[in-house]
Amino acid sequence: MTGASRFAVLVIGLVLVAARASAQPIAVPDAGSAGIGIFLHWVDRDYERPDGGPFHGPWSHRGLFVHATAAHRVVFMLAGSYEPPYRDSRYPDRLYTALGVGAGTTVYPLIVGPYRLGASFRWYRHAWLDQSLEHHDKVVDGISVSIQAERGFKVKSLNARLWIASTYMKDRLVDHIGFFPATELTTPNNFGAIGGADLVLLGHLAPYVQIGVVEHMQTQAGLSYIY
């Protein structure tokens, strides 16, 4: 299979399969009706091999996300990322192209003044396609489900939000070398907590940070423009 064909197969697979969960924040500012932004995401998970052996798999990526809000109660989100061919210092003989897609939604059944109680679902898939002769491809995917409480603050021109959540974050790592059968690793410990905060500056700019603890620190930060 040519490099172009393998890349096309990867894109189709990314679109069709639900995936890696928490590259998107579980909350967005209650301002405007839509936004577009950038994110940075650092992941640190422990996986279990098919034979029961442990594997520690930290990784990171960056990309774009968009979100839309309906009636202050439902938030829809899409995310994506792409990295042109590069060499990882850990695997100098490999030439990776990285691609990710994802989506999610948050629903708020209870809103009382500045307080919101909601539930979030996120999925995201990130794949590394090795274009070297080794063809050592890797894919991380999974889901997260969170129950969250939020508190908004509005003082003059300042619009801020804090959130905390209990979360279930299940991940899967698929390791595929050439024509050999793929090896699937999963995370055995998936319950944890998330906390985060955002601001709305000048009525439109919204930086955020979100920190999760599921085995290790799961951190992301970003900036969006609210319309």
- Per-residue pLDDT of 206-227, as tens digits, reads 999 999 999 999 999 999 999 8
Average pLDDT of the chain? 86
Mean pLDDT over 99-122 rounds to 95
Position 57 scores a pLDDT of: 87
Q: Residue 69 pLDDT more than 60?
A: yes
Distance CA 27, CA 120 (A): 8
* Beta strand spans in the chain (E): 34-48, 54-70, 74-88, 91-112, 115-130, 136-155, 158-177, 183-186, 191-200, 205-214, 216-226
User: What pTM was estimated for this model as a whole?
Assistant: 0.82
pLDDT at 121 over 80: yes
Which residues, other chains included, contact 56 with Cβ-Cβ below 8 Å and sequence gap of 6+?
44, 45, 46, 47
Q: How many Cα atoms sit within 13 Å of 167 on the Cβ side?
A: 29
- What whole-number distance in Å separates Cα of residue 75 and Cα of residue 106? 5
* Closest to 49 in 3D by CA, of 134, 169, 175, 213: 175
Mean predicted confidence (pLDDT) in 141-165: 91
Domains in the chain with CATH codes: 3-226 (2.40.128)
Q: Is a pLDDT exceeding 80 seen at residue 204?
A: yes
The predicted model gives 116-123 an average pLDDT of: 95
The amino acid that residue 181 corresponds to is: P
